[in-house]
Structure 1
């Protein structure tokens, strides 16, 4: 199935195509999207006429070996403390840098004339100034930024696809910086969004936070989109948000913007409940090596299990050559134990049964626990007589299923790798090839319990970015691996071990007293020797269930039992 759509407006043109394919035995989704945008000037500022940033031939051989850079240190004008994470860029181009922990920045260049740059930082007044190219190691004068008391001056792009002040945004937009995300104690970065007003995060498991806005608290929330560097990271194969797999490593996140309201005009009908847009770090602006290790303990007050350790390891490396070619690679590993779903409360409905079988509880033959799997193979038994001719009381009968620890492990293992190659063709044109690969295992709760086993999500993107627009192509592929619904798994396992019809038949033959009345004393002795318990008596639910759950093929060897059990 394929869908093609287009839209023409003030901000430009968007063209897309989707192609769905399914591999044999495993759900696989491939999504291809082509985007083209050309219209309003995104940077809202112009480059000086004739200005170049990175290309200028050396004027003489004596100067050819001198490496020049635009350098400086950004400080708070009041406290004189360095501002780490301030953005220094050349207006109207793709050239820029981010200050390090001491407030220093460095932009390599071959230009020998001054150039205008813009320095910005959240909570401070943006400043423009002229810098002169200097040889490596030259002392520089500090650049002072004044604190800004007006809230809402941060620059966002999610509300209208062009840069604008937060207060001027037509819809409610919240923004989290990469520093805030990395310093958050949350296990998954999406959990940090719960600190924002108008944003609710509910948890299907500790690795499955579901972001909701506008009061829509739903475990799936399909009308909320998640875009990472322009790639819509949705799991169509599972139809649930898989932020744990789609979210990039925290160390590679520059900022996250959340629209807590309808965004369908810009991002399509799936953005009716809002949108989350994550911007990743560019290797030219964020070079170097960084690493982060977090260790914790969960299940401290859980009576169901002992405390379990939690490990979160991340690393990122980025490098550039001559401010033209850049690469980056980020890895993330998460290892822990999720909570166990062990609620044994009976959720069965007993309409049509007669007392005492109308009362819920584990003693009831129709027992249907909340976190039981396979018990849904259930039927209302009525109008069936006992072996002596008396009618059986109407009751519900369910198969003996499993609880969660019997079927799957709650151990969570998730690994992610993101990276890319970047190249600046000119000062205003940059190309990139990036990828995102995530795989692992975890469990989560929806209308029933699900287990993701060997789940794989891959995303690839090729993009050309210009100061006035971009051209983007990306593809997403999913492989469900051995993922399963525990409800379906439990029922299918029971039916494989013994078909449902055979199980219910053997239960009623034992409960109704048909086996007991038809078997000879010799066969009863052989039965007891083989099974380790006596032939079930009429009206004994526990004994009947015990026999039905057993391997009843031995009944075919007993002359007086085989005809009754249907084994003759």
Structure 2
């Protein structure tokens, strides 16, 4: 605690030095102030930035005269000589003729013009953050070319580029000040929950597509770089406060607040520090999709209903089998049991809105200490700590409420002009997070066990169908089902009552999947990486070398991974080198990269990249680029080590040592004929991951088997002929060959950016759904002539009895498809000033993939990407003095959504956002009023998540 108090005191108790103070103002050619312009003493590290009036105060101990350089994105830089301590500096910056000439770092790990980037790159700077029409800058990233957003919750959005992603986008990498933002347990980014404050954003750079050659295994489909402001350059106290309302038919109108403060100070040219605090709170989008997960048109009136946002109804059993068991136990007369239909019935579930408080929140705290031993950028030592916690809904195989979820990162970094060396650790705590599906299942079991509920249902149905409760029920299946459900529901806990709340709290605090739903997690990542650029030592080319090392420590206490007996540890490392060289009077730029990565459980992979960029035309403004690179992705920790019971199925990772660590005891029903327990060797069996991978049928063939058997009673050989044994390999790294062509230019004041790509994926990692019989042997052929009775002596045919009588377990397997997957895309971006300072921009993306589903029917590629997307913006930040506005719109075509939780179509959507802002110089502040999805209908981005409504806000930002 003393250390924290000491740190905070640094912001308010500084030592003053005898220094020179230089004042000035920076404007554009229209005499409008330029906010955030960088003012730097040439040859020194002394810097400052302009305020909302374009004014600056520069303090230095240098002797006169000296030079200062003034720079700002979108303007030409200017140098001024300072001859006097009392000199008032008035600097006018001219707007650059080419805004595509900005400097980026991420594409090649070295500063270069956007025009010279060897791959497609998108950028958001400080000015873009200010003018975004979205509620937050992170939401505003959706307006970038190539970006598709998947919204799982008001406080949890994930970015997707070039397809193949659900909310859990493990193919996309997000770095904040060089630190991977991914959750150690989940292996994907939780949006901006531990990201960066919008008042601390220096720049955001997006690389869509494979970047494994420089950034390793997880940089498979894209990378987002978020860089924060240096306290040496951006000093003072900045704060913002935002208030607004969300509006949704299901949730109504609700308030939300978002505020933050940034404090930064350079105490000398050697030492600086900063701290950030942000807080957001609102009401989440209610998820109220009550369609059946697998049967379109089926509603709650159906006896085996399984709603998308209803939980507890996943528990289902064959009611005829229940009747036969009751007969064997003398609980139901045989003549009544014979009236039960041979079909499944599900328990009544609870709606999602009854199982969560629907609150979304996010708190972020970070601080950093910066030390420059030599007083300049030759060497800077940075200690940074980041903390993020809050509430959100994450959607994976089920819907999960991240309740008081906590994640932290700590970094030490040494960096200079040509190198960096950093190490950081990421850890998380699941807090009071829980699985909504098991919450519903186990609340049901608290007030009545499954055996009792289904037994009461079977008894009531058979008696009603027999006419014992009146002639209106006799022979009426629909009425008998309704009567039976009402009878079984006697004692049901009603949401909102004290009894329900007591059961709810009991379940979500219990991590045992058989009786609770709490998610337990204390996983960690330890990571280090380094890079050195030899450009000051080697002149014939720019050569870089670097590498990284990562160690995972998985610790879910057996709740999600197979780590009940202790944490699972494994590591991976990689090395790379890059060469850049310019030819033909520096018009042609060659970049070649090669990286080697090795994970503990897999063979090593080489990732090469070769690119050429050519600047054509007299002014070199026609820039053509082409690149080829291979990327790879190691299976995630989930792909390898998960052992997660999600109720109606189990997710099993395929690391060889993982299969036997997962085991589960399953009850065996006798079935018809009543010999199931004889074949199983008892009333229950123990199932492991070996059953899932090595003794199972594909889920699609089991569905075909069941449908044929229902339509053709007695034709067992015909039904069996449709079964296909699961034949999957253990998961291994996937690979992509990526080809890209692009063109950037400025023609008649129009900025043009065109790109096209073609990707070939091999060993694509995905999910295969399988069904394992509780007894018998899975097979592709069956001999019905062996033995008498057949089932007793023929294990293959015994498995048919298991499938026919509900004695099976469903699994999701992690594997690779042997079928080659290809994707193709095209992007076009245009922007220009249409009149004075009115700016107009539009971009279009086309995306398509090719996968022969018939050759691997149980494999889901999960492209989850619209074929067509159009985005446009129109605005003027200088419409008149201190006033600006911006309007953005986007449209996407409908597309197929595939995930383990639910498959279906996502409708086309049109969304408009808008904002107006007014700068108040006397208060050094900016007032903004805006809204998202203005006047539009509610739309979906994730099937199973809440529909996105309207969001309106007013914000006030105070700059130093």
Q: TM-score normalised by the shorter chain: which range applies?
A: 0.7 to 0.9
**2:488 counterpart of 1:542:** no
TM-superposed deviation, 1:69: 4.1
How far, CA to CA, are the matches of 2:17 and 2:360 in structure 1? 54
**2:336 counterpart of 1:364:** no
- Equivalent residue in structure 1 for 2:293, among 347, 351, 360: 347
Find runs of 4+ consecutive structure 1 residues off by over 6 angstroms: 536-539
How far, CA to CA, are the matches of 2:367 and 2:474 in structure 1? 68
- The verdict on how the C-alpha distance between 1:256 and 1:449 changes in structure 2, with shifts beyond 3 A counting, is same
Superposed CA deviations along residues 437-491 of structure 1, whole A, max 9, x for unmatched, are 1111122444432211110011111222222322222111111112122123222
**2:48 counterpart of 1:97:** yes
How far, CA to CA, are the matches of 2:180 and 2:27 in structure 1? 37
How far, CA to CA, are the matches of 1:413 and 1:191 in structure 2? 15
Q: Is the 8 A contact 2:33 2:53 kept in 1?
A: yes
TM-superposed deviation, 1:102: 2.6
Superposed CA deviations along residues 314-366 of structure 1, whole A, max 9, x for unmatched, are 1112122233332212111111111111222233559xxxxxxxx83322221
- The verdict on how the C-alpha distance between 1:537 and 1:332 changes in structure 2, with shifts beyond 3 A counting, is farther
- The verdict on how the C-alpha distance between 1:419 and 1:497 changes in structure 2, with shifts beyond 3 A counting, is same
How far, CA to CA, are the matches of 1:169 and 1:341 in structure 2? 42
* Residue correspondence of structure 1 range 548-559 to structure 2 within 5 A: 548-550=488-490
Q: Is the 8 A contact 2:310 2:352 kept in 1?
A: yes
- Equivalent residue in structure 2 for 1:158, among 106, 110, 120: 106
- Equivalent residue in structure 2 for 1:288, among 233, 236, 239: 236
- The residue that corresponds to 2:373 in the other structure is 425
- The verdict on how the C-alpha distance between 1:477 and 1:422 changes in structure 2, with shifts beyond 3 A counting, is same
Tell which deviates more after alignment, 146-155 or 445-454.
Answer: 445-454
How far, CA to CA, are the matches of 1:348 and 1:394 in structure 2? 19
TM-superposed deviation, 1:95: 4.1
Q: Is the 8 A contact 1:84 1:99 kept in 2?
A: yes
* Residue correspondence of structure 1 range 60-99 to structure 2 within 5 A: 66-69=18-21, 71-76=23-28, 78-90=29-41, 94-99=45-50
- The residue that corresponds to 1:309 in the other structure is 255
SS at match of 2:424: strand
- Equivalent residue in structure 2 for 1:246, among 171, 194, 198: 194
- The residue that corresponds to 2:185 in the other structure is 237
Q: Is the 8 A contact 1:182 1:251 kept in 2?
A: no
SS at match of 1:152: helix
SS at match of 1:271: coil
**2:433 counterpart of 1:479:** no
- The residue that corresponds to 2:744 in the other structure is none
TM-superposed deviation, 1:219: 2.3
How far, CA to CA, are the matches of 2:75 and 2:212 in structure 1? 32
* Residue correspondence of structure 1 range 257-336 to structure 2 within 5 A: 257-299=205-247, 302-336=248-282
- The residue that corresponds to 1:450 in the other structure is 400
How far, CA to CA, are the matches of 1:65 and 1:494 in structure 2? 70
- Equivalent residue in structure 2 for 1:469, among 409, 419, 432: 419
Q: Is the 8 A contact 2:159 2:191 kept in 1?
A: no
How far, CA to CA, are the matches of 1:244 and 1:497 in structure 2? 40
TM-superposed deviation, 1:312: 1.0
- The verdict on how the C-alpha distance between 1:551 and 1:202 changes in structure 2, with shifts beyond 3 A counting, is closer
- The verdict on how the C-alpha distance between 1:349 and 1:469 changes in structure 2, with shifts beyond 3 A counting, is same
- The residue that corresponds to 2:450 in the other structure is 500
SS at match of 2:30: coil
TM-score when normalising by structure 2: 0.45
- The verdict on how the C-alpha distance between 1:215 and 1:308 changes in structure 2, with shifts beyond 3 A counting, is same
SS at match of 2:193: helix
Q: Is the 8 A contact 2:319 2:458 kept in 1?
A: no
Q: Is the 8 A contact 2:276 2:367 kept in 1?
A: yes
How far, CA to CA, are the matches of 1:395 and 1:107 in structure 2? 80
Superposed CA deviations along residues 254-307 of structure 1, whole A, max 9, x for unmatched, are 1111112222111112111111111111112111112111111112xx332321
TM-score when normalising by structure 1: 0.74
- Equivalent residue in structure 1 for 2:92, among 126, 144, 147: 144
Q: Is the 8 A contact 1:172 1:260 kept in 2?
A: yes
TM-superposed deviation, 1:252: 1.1
- The verdict on how the C-alpha distance between 1:267 and 1:92 changes in structure 2, with shifts beyond 3 A counting, is farther
**Going by fraction, where is strand more abundant, 1 or 2?**
2
- The verdict on how the C-alpha distance between 1:260 and 1:378 changes in structure 2, with shifts beyond 3 A counting, is same
How far, CA to CA, are the matches of 1:446 and 1:144 in structure 2? 53
Q: Is the 8 A contact 2:126 2:203 kept in 1?
A: yes
How far, CA to CA, are the matches of 2:18 and 2:426 in structure 1? 46
- The residue that corresponds to 1:109 in the other structure is 60
- The residue that corresponds to 1:59 in the other structure is none
How far, CA to CA, are the matches of 1:466 and 1:454 in structure 2? 38
Q: Is the 8 A contact 2:155 2:391 kept in 1?
A: no
TM-superposed deviation, 1:156: 0.6
TM-superposed deviation, 1:129: 4.6
Q: Is the 8 A contact 1:255 1:279 kept in 2?
A: yes
How far, CA to CA, are the matches of 2:87 and 2:132 in structure 1? 36
How far, CA to CA, are the matches of 1:312 and 1:65 in structure 2? 38
**2:146 counterpart of 1:198:** yes
Superposed CA deviations along residues 58-96 of structure 1, whole A, max 9, x for unmatched, are xxxxxx9852245543332x2233321122335676543
Q: Is the 8 A contact 2:165 2:171 kept in 1?
A: no
- The residue that corresponds to 2:687 in the other structure is none
SS at match of 1:478: strand
Superposed CA deviations along residues 390-430 of structure 1, whole A, max 9, x for unmatched, are 43222220011110122111111221112222222212322
Q: Specify every segment of 5 or more residues in structure 2 that has no aligned partner in the other structure, as ranges.
A: 1-15, 325-331, 493-960
Greater C-alpha Rg? 1
- The verdict on how the C-alpha distance between 1:131 and 1:474 changes in structure 2, with shifts beyond 3 A counting, is farther
- The residue that corresponds to 2:520 in the other structure is none
Aligned Cα RMSD in Å? 3.0
Tell which deviates more after alignment, 312-321 or 65-74.
Answer: 65-74
- The verdict on how the C-alpha distance between 1:377 and 1:422 changes in structure 2, with shifts beyond 3 A counting, is same
Tell which deviates more after alignment, 437-446 or 336-345.
Answer: 437-446
- The verdict on how the C-alpha distance between 1:294 and 1:371 changes in structure 2, with shifts beyond 3 A counting, is same
How far, CA to CA, are the matches of 2:398 and 2:193 in structure 1? 20
Say how many residue pairs are matched: 459
How far, CA to CA, are the matches of 2:452 and 2:156 in structure 1? 39
Tell which deviates more after alignment, 197-206 or 409-418.
Answer: 197-206
- The residue that corresponds to 1:180 in the other structure is 128
**2:439 counterpart of 1:489:** yes
How far, CA to CA, are the matches of 1:506 and 1:65 in structure 2? 84
